[in-house]
Amino acid sequence: MAGADAAITHLLARGHQRIAFVTGPMNMRQSQDRLTGSRQAPERAGRPADTLRAVETAAFTVDQGRRAGEQLLTASERVTAVFCANDLLALDVMQTAFRAKLRVPDDLAIVGYDDIHSAATAGVPLTSVHVGGYDLGKAAAEMLLDEDRPGHTHRRLVFPPRLVERNSS
């Protein structure tokens, strides 16, 4: 939730009034959490509920990013910014914007989530929410190994995300 909140706060700070949140299936926890986080920022800023428009896709894939991008670009009221629940969606929303002759970020600002390698190397480097994948994986492995040790207790770890600002927003 915190990463989504940071992404939308970032876009609001740049003056965007109509923002789309593109996500995968809403039956997935990450979609629900990121939608909740996305709604917190406009609410906290005193913006109307219709500041954020949610678009659900069938999967977290580039193909679904293209479909979402096409849907957003043909809508009667265009958004000025898009926050995607992962970078694959965001990168193809960006490609769809380029095909429509839009300039990123001048005509459409885009923010992704996960900060995959391709985010930094895209034609317009993608602003993205970074989650420490290596640290997360290391901690998960340590927790699995610790599970069989005497005195083991279950614990929940939280890895705070951080927004990596690049040229797309």
Summarised one tens digit per residue, pLDDT across range 78-118 is 999 999 999 999 999 999 999 999 999 999 999 999 999 99
DSSP per residue over 91-109, as a string? HHHHHHHHHTTPPTTTT-E
- How confident is the model over 39-86, as pLDDT tens digits? 999 999 999 989 999 999 999 999 999 999 999 999 999 999 999 999
Give the pLDDT score at 152.
73
SS3 146: helix
One-letter amino acid of 68: A
* Domain chopping of the chain, boundaries: 2-131+160-164
* Structure token digits, residue 71: 């849907």
Average pLDDT over residues 153-166: 88
Give the pLDDT score at 121.
97
Task: Identify the CATH homologous superfamily for domain 2-131+160-164.
Answer: Response regulator (3.40.50.2300)
With 0.85 as the threshold, say if the pTM is over it.
Answer: yes
